């Protein structure tokens, strides 16, 4: 009987993955790490796992574009994201618990993420791009997914 209670508690503690977070993992995390990311983002221990955002080791480098180090403020970065079709709202995945799992307007999300010294991802609600800020000062990335290839019949 005790096993059933423990299993019920474990299943109840899991949550469904947010669709924007799932999109981020499928498009930007290297294939052999994707399952671990999916599990961790729905885990009660999510906060501990997100230390992986300190750097880009789990990211597919083919879809990462460095943002110029001279662009250091939310006001400088927001127009770039907007010009690429980011839309106005973002889902945050962050080492900082005050920012993590929140849906925010573009400017507010960037104000909170830029320069805090904690790894953060901002996923556009349009699912066209994401923004990644590493722990190291000045390491900022634009993440753009691969173009969908037409299927050959």
DSSP 34-52: HHHHHHHHTSTTHHHHGGG
**Which residues, at least 6 apart from 128, have a Cβ–Cβ distance to it below 8 Å?**
84, 85, 86, 87, 144, 145
The whole-angstrom separation of Cα 106 and Cα 92 is: 10
Q: Domain ranges for the chain, please list them.
A: 17-143
Q: pTM of the entire structure? A: 0.86
pLDDT on residue 14? 60
Exposed e or buried b per residue across 1-22, where buried means at least 16 C-beta atoms within 10 angstroms of its C-beta? eeeeeeeeeeeeeeeebbebbb
Which residues, listed in sequence order, are joined to residue 64 by a DSSP beta bridge?
Answer: 143
- Dihedrals phi, psi of 48, to nearest 5 degrees: -65, -40
Q: How confident is the model at residue 19 (pLDDT cuts 50, 70, 90)?
A: very high
pLDDT on residue 70? 93
Q: How confident is the model at residue 147 (pLDDT cuts 50, 70, 90)?
A: confident
Q: Does residue 130 carry a pLDDT above 70?
A: yes
The whole-angstrom separation of Cα 88 and Cα 20 is: 14
The whole-angstrom separation of Cα 117 and Cα 65 is: 19
Q: Does residue 5 carry a pLDDT above 60?
A: no
| 149 vs 112: which has the higher pLDDT | 112
Q: Does residue 2 carry a pLDDT above 70?
A: no
pLDDT on residue 4? 43
Q: Does residue 17 carry a pLDDT above 70?
A: yes
């Amino acid at each position: 009987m005790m096993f059933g209670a423990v299993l019920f508690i474990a299943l109840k503690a899991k949550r469904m993955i947010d669709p924007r977070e799932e999109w981020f993992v499928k498009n930007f995390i290297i294939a052999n790490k994707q399952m671990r990311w999916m599990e961790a983002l729905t885990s009660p221990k999510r906060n501990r796992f997100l230390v992986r955002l300190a750097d880009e080791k789990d990211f597919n480098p083919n879809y990462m574009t460095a943002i110029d180090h001279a662009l250091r403020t939310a006001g400088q970065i927001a127009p770039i994201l907007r010009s690429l079709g980011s839309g106005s709202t973002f889902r945050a995945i962050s080492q900082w618990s005050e920012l993590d799992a929140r849906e925010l307007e573009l400017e507010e999300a960037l104000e909170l993420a830029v320069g805090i010294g904690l790894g953060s991802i901002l996923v556009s609600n349009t699912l066209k791009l994401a923004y990644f800020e590493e722990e190291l000062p000045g390491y900022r990335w634009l993440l753009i997914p691969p173009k969908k290839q037409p299927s050959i019949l």
